[in-house]
Amino acid sequence: MYLINVQAFIKRHPAMSNGEKVDLEANVLSEFYDDRIPEYAILSHRWIDQEVNRNEMVELAKMEERHKVCQRPGYKKILASCEQAKNDNCEWLWVDTCCIDRQSNAELSEGINSMYRWYENSKVCYAYLHDVPGTLFPAEDDKRYPNFNGWLEWFSHGWTLQELIAPKHVQFFNQNWKDIGNKRVLAETLSHITGVPEHILTGGLSSKRPCVAQIMSWAANC
């Protein structure tokens, strides 16, 4: 499992964004094995244009035009996640865009098979809602989101369910990274959107474990 070193990423950002000299020895991405994985935060999000992949994360400090990469929405999302992790006293962060090498079939397969466990074992999950401009979590279907049954794009993909159910703590953020609630406080609304019972949202699948057919019915709504 690869994790981003939160302090190292934040520390090198000013020089990176200004195109200045960067310490090439500073390692912002480290690999850990199951028996030595440290406490970490994890990001749940929808992919947008110009994400930062594994190779770019590793080679970024050596790129002549690295300051341009730092202007990408995908890079800014990682930076904001690191800053939030720092505030939550998490030294490590997992982000799928750069912590999984999608050019490696073996690593991609491992990531898919381990995804639920990685979310479940995280200290906190940051659900970034890039299409929410306000400071309140939308409690009703909204005509601003016509392509997703009146709900946010984050809920439109089947992967959302495990990223919502597996972590013990899920914190929602709007497009400006303002805290707009957590899954325990929002359990009733989240249940209405997804069809997942509140006790599953707050207690996980081990809480009165549902049958496979019921789980599949939740995914069918995404």
* Domain ranges, residue 62: 2-220
Instruction: Quote the number of domains for the chain.
Output: 1
User: For every residue of the chain, which 3-state class applies, written as one string?
Assistant: CEEEEHHHHHHHHHHHHCCCCCCCCCCCEEECCHHHCCCCEEEECCCCCCCCCHHHHHHHHHCCCHHHHCCCHHHHHHHHHHHHHHHCCCCEEECHHHHCCCCCHHHHHHHHHHHHHHHHCCCEEEEECCCCCCCCCCCCCCCCCHHHCCCCHHHHCCHHHHHHHCCCCEEEECCCCCEEEECCCCHHHHHHHHCCCHHHHHHCCCCCCCCHHHHHHHHHCC
Share of the chain above pLDDT 70, in %: 86
Q: pLDDT per residue over 74-117, tens digit each?
A: 999 999 999 999 999 999 999 999 999 888 888 888 888 889 99
Residue 103 CA to residue 169 CA, distance in Å, equals 31
pLDDT at 124: 97
- For the cut 60, the answer to whether the pLDDT of residue 216 exceeds it is no
Give the side-chain half-sphere CA count within 13 A for 146: 1
Model pTM?
0.89
